Amino acid sequence: MVELMLTLVLQRLLWSLLVFALVAVVIFVLLELLPGDAATAYLGRTATPARTAQLRERLGLDRPAVVRFAAWTSGVLRGDFGTSLARRAPVATFLWVRLRNSLLLGLLATLISVPLALLLGVLAGLTRDRWPDLLLSLLALFSISLPEFVIGTLLIFSFSLHFTLLPAVTLVDAAAPLAELLPYTVLPTATLTLMLSGYLLSLMRTSIIDALRSEHVQMARLKGLPPLRVLLWHALPGALAPVVTASAMIIAWIIGNLVVVEAVFNYPGIGTLALNAIQDRDLPMVQAIVLVLAGCHLLINLLADLLTLALNPQLRTLRMR
């Protein structure tokens, strides 16, 4: 049993690594296919043949693509993502600190929204078509349909301008200690939480309603079990499995939306970094950010896979026979 689980986990891990390697190749090839290269992109209108050639030589762009890919990957493996063109410093120095800030945001939002949404979703499912359910479903609908910049702006308007309780934009340096950064995370976290919770709540609600209608829950009731035991032992585990898978997808999707949320609050995360890098046409930086975000995606999905495996004995024991 333990061995089986271990093989399954290892298998998933290997797959994730393989996909990650593939992503690296795809990013590199895509950038190769773009007209021009890092040098022409960076210099833009100021490009003269001489300056372009000079920059190319400095960046090593005159080498064949295969050699450059090998150099890039070996650098990435050592934690060296090359040099930022706009900031004239190693990409890694910006990347990790910004990633830390974004992860803080994502982690806070996940830790608050997932338990909250699951709890409220179960509550809505249990009080189906009565007022708690109607209220919660309506709220969820609102948060799903409002775009993140509207939510963010509304929050700024009410909590920073109307009541001056919280800062509207981040005023500290990206590399500031977490404790200093914390007050500035409140509103962005709230925005992300609202967005995440809406989907998860409605998902959990449907899932628990289905579970409560299932024959095995009816059977548990007919065995004379107390309602709480029926809910916790017979209905919830099965109802959670699809929600866990979906929540991973939603959280991964939120990573993409970090760009917008961070931009609204001018929060020094990887999203604003990406935005700047694109504006500066800083290709080494863009390349590194895309790779790191893809890695986050894969990691979250891997975790979700493992959680689903733990929640669903049918998948866990499939290979036993």
Listed in sequence order, the residues at least 6 apart from 161 whose beta carbon sits closer than 8 Å to its beta carbon are 168
* Distance of alpha carbon 105 from alpha carbon 193, whole angstroms: 10
**Nearest distance, CB of residue 234 and other proteins, angstroms:** 5
The CB density around residue 175, as the number of other CB atoms within 10 Å, is 14
**Which secondary-structure segment (H or E) carries 105?**
helix 91-126
State which residue, 138 or 318, has the beta carbon closest to other proteins: 318
Evaluate whether 254 touches 151 at the Cβ level (below 8 Å): no
The pair of structure tokens assigned to 57 is 């030589």
Contact status, residue 165 vs residue 133, Cβ threshold 8 Å: no
Token output for 287: 């390349």
- Contact predicate 318/309, CB 8 Å: no
CB of 242 vs other proteins, minimal distance in Å: 12
Contact positions vs other proteins (CB under 8 A): 213-226, 229, 233-234, 237-238, 311-314, 317, 320-321
CB closer to other proteins out of 179 and 222: 222
Least distance to other proteins, CB of residue 249, Å: 22
Closer residue to other proteins in complex, CB, 46/314: 314
CB-wise, 39 or 204, nearer to other proteins?
A: 204
Q: What minimum distance in Å lies between the beta carbon of 211 and other proteins?
A: 10
Q: How far is the CB of 33 from other proteins (least distance, A)?
A: 35
- Residue 70 or 318: which CB sits closer to other proteins? 318
